[in-house]
Amino acid sequence: MKKLLTLFLAFIPAFVMASDETVQSSATMQNGKNTAAGKTVVQNWLSLDSLGIIHDARVSEYMLQEYGFESKATFNAVTLTKYTGTAEGVRIPRVKRIGDYSFADSNTIKAVVISDGTTSIGEGAFRGCAYLASIVIPNSVIDIGNYAFCRSGLTSVTIPKGVLSIGEGTFADCFKLMTVTILDGVISIGDGAFSDCNSLLAVTFPESIRSIGGLAFYECESLTSVTIPANVTHIGIGAFGECTHVTEFCVSEDNTHFKSINGVLFTADGQVLIQFPLGSSITEYTVPDGVKCIGFAAFCRSENLRSVTIPESVTVFGDEAFDGCENFTIYGAPGSKAEKYAREHGIDFQEASESFPAFE
């Protein structure tokens, strides 16, 4: 059944902008089976046509309320503050901003289309929308708030080129998220942005990326490889920790801050071993001489690794550096920091008999 609802709005409220213009708008509710995001079945779709809804950045508050949207208006912008409707598919009208927690914990929404012209998605805007499988984010969006899609049901997402930063925890705990496309223009990925996305198969970083936050991809257990582009200058603590299926880290030859040796991620100066590829088939590994620090969770949950030989140059061990390594032995010099670490953490320690390769 298809119902066409036509609303004639005589005046824009004075607190938006004083005017005697007449604005004509239309909204349609379609019932039936529509598809979104491949196999996502949307039973009913609420669509508010962008034509007429906004004129010179002005919107009718009455119209938004009529279809489950609550809003607040300032001189030149409208923020959608709350959605109270029950439609499975929603086309958000061309408001300036989607407010903090405006759709949070909705148990009906499966698909969302954000109209072009919206520039900001607020903190926690779609947090906990467990059935939200599909979202279309227009190129006009330049800001995505912290935890905006945390614990949602998204299966794929494209970050448009206008976005400069992906906020803290933005897609954390999106257990169904399999593919992420980050378009060139994004500069930074916040702390924990994709943590615990354990279905995430691959992520490709654009050349614009400069910073990857701490725990950004922590426990993304389905990732198999990671390539760090040339312009990355910062990788936060545990950014790729407990990614148990990563078999190698690759780093652009033009990157002057990081380096990969045999698939292991280091700082370019060789002083910090950032992350061992936990999905590697290697059973024995020797840390190069000159390394001073083994990073947070660097070897944590490396299931195939049975021993690591550590030179005396290593004096700092990050938290959880070897947690979850079973039937495991550390080899090193007697009286070294490696021996002390092993003893304190209940790890078998043996005196090393081999020489250590220098960092390449």
275: left (phi over 0), alpha (psi -120 to 50) or beta: beta
Q: Which neighbouring-strand residues pair with 166?
A: 144, 189
Convert 278-304 to b/e letters by CB count within 10 Å (16 or more is b). bbbebeebbbbbbbebbbbbbbbbbee
Contacts by residues 225-233 (CB-CB < 8 Å, ≥ 24 positions apart):
225/249, 225/250, 226/250, 226/265, 227/251, 227/252, 228/252, 228/255, 228/258, 228/260, 228/265, 229/205, 229/255, 230/254, 230/255, 231/207, 231/255, 232/205, 232/257, 232/258, 233/257
Of 106, 55, 62, 98, which Cα lies nearest the Cα of 76? 55
Average pLDDT, the chain: 82
Q: Is 32 in contact with 75 (CB distance < 8 Å)?
A: no
Assess whether pLDDT exceeds 90 at residue 16: no
Which bin fits 70, alpha (ψ -120 to 50), beta or left (φ > 0)? Answer: beta
Q: Where in the chain are the domains? A: 1-154
**Does the pLDDT value for residue 133 go beyond 50?**
yes
Give me the amino acid identity at 152.
S
Calculate what percentage of the chain has a pLDDT beyond 70. 77
Q: Is the pTM of this model over 0.75?
A: yes
**Block residue for tokens 């034509």:** 51
Contact 44, 67 (CB under 8 A): no
- 3-state SS, residue 342: helix
**Tens digit of pLDDT for each residue in 31-85?**
333 333 333 444 444 443 332 232 223 334 434 444 455 445 443 478 888 888 8
Task: Look at residue 58 in the predicted model and tell me its pLDDT.
Answer: 35
List, in sequence order, every residue forming a beta bridge with 284; answer none if it has no partner: 307
pLDDT in tens, 204-243: 899 999 999 999 999 999 999 899 999 999 999 999 999 9
Over 50: is that where the pLDDT of 3 sits? no
Residue 39 phi/psi, 5-degree rounding, is -95, 0
DSSP string for residues in 49-98: -SBTTBSSS-B-HHHHHHTTEEEEEETTEEEEEEE----SEEEE-S-SEE
Predicted confidence at residue 80, as pLDDT, reads 86
**C-beta of residue 209 within 8 angstroms of C-beta of residue 182:** yes
Per residue in 299-322, pLDDT (tens digit) is 999 989 999 999 999 999 999 999
State pLDDT tens for residues 239-291: 999 999 999 999 999 999 999 999 999 999 999 999 999 999 999 999 999 99
- DSSP conformational letter for 188: E
Name the residue type at position 17. M
CA 101 to chain centre: 18
Cβ 300 vs Cβ 325: under 8 Å: yes
The pair of structure tokens assigned to 122 is 């607020």
Give me the CATH topology for the region 1-154: 3.80.10
Predicted confidence at residue 27, as pLDDT, reads 32
- Compute φ and ψ for 337, nearest 5 degrees: -60, -30
191-205: b (≥16 Cβ within 10 Å) or e: bbbbbbbbebeebeb
How many angstroms separate the CA atoms of 177 and 289, rounded? 39
98 confidence band (pLDDT: 50, 70, 90): very high
Token reading at 323: 């947690």
